[in-house]
Amino acid sequence: MARILAVTNQKGGVGKTTTTVNLAASFAMTKRRVLVVDLDPQGNATMGSGVDKNTLNRSIYDILLGEAEVQDVLIPSGKGQYDLLPSNRELAGAEIELVGMSDREHRLKISLLDVQSEYDYILIDCPPALNLLTVNGLCAAQSVMIPMQCEYYALEGLSDLVQTIRRIRSHLNPDLEIEGLLRTMFDPRNALAQQVSSQLQQHFGDKVYRTVIPRNIRLAEAPSFGVPVLVHDKKSKGAQAYLTLAGEMIRKAALEYAQ
């Protein structure tokens, strides 16, 4: 049965989509079966996976509205070696249409039940806002990964996000846990980054991944080629960091299973 992970942060530009796409490719490289769900109307995870969002016949929008099954929308990412439920601007209208529907917070969870046994990991790229799409992602997931930059305002946003996760757990998804906090775009020469990183470790302990994602030009370039950084430049620091993160998560899951 798949481990379903929502990759989310209410703050934009923290490396959320970069993490989703590159972690998926890293898991796939370790022979895990992976599905990426692009739940962001911007469709960045779709484009970053080498799929043109403007030519889609069907998308995650059709699944949420009950107009298509997951199998009808599923497409291979190609070079990333994972499967994708793509998204485009059409998804922005789903929020209004979902409001009057039954089980509106659980539409994604119900849809994924059909394919959950076919994957080892399902990664959900949530939009950078707390809306009904993000709530669907959090209700479908077993755990949350929070990518964040080590800067002052990030701590403030993190507090709000933790409160949101607690509310979701109280009212909609009692099994939801924080999988971990991922430090992204990290520059070890920056004193503030070091300070914020230290505060994160003090407050969240082993919930902070040991792996740190550095600022890396290859990582920034890869989306413009429509491929994960592992395909763009496997030897780059960014590619190696995401492979290390995947390894850390696999080992952690194995330890938890053994217990």
The angle, 0 to 180 degrees and rounded to 10, between the axes of the packed helices 16-29 and 237-258 is 70
Contacts of 166 (CB under 8 A, 6+ apart): none
DSSP classification of residue 79 = T
Q: Residue 35 and residue 161: Cα distance in Å, rounded?
A: 24
Determine the average pLDDT of the residues in 210-238. Answer: 94
pLDDT of residue 150: 84
pLDDT of residue 157: 77
Contact 116, 122 (CB under 8 A): yes
Q: Residue 104 and residue 112: Cα distance in Å, rounded?
A: 14
pLDDT per residue as tens digits for the range 18-27: 999 999 999 9
CA distances from 8 to 126, 212, 251 (A): 5, 17, 22
The CATH number of the domain holding residue 220 is 3.40.50.300
* Residue 117 CB coordination number (10 Å): 8
* Residue 90 CB coordination number (10 Å): 17
Mean pLDDT of the chain: 93
pLDDT of residue 187: 86
Please tell me the total count of domains within the chain: 1
Domain that holds residue 169: 3-258
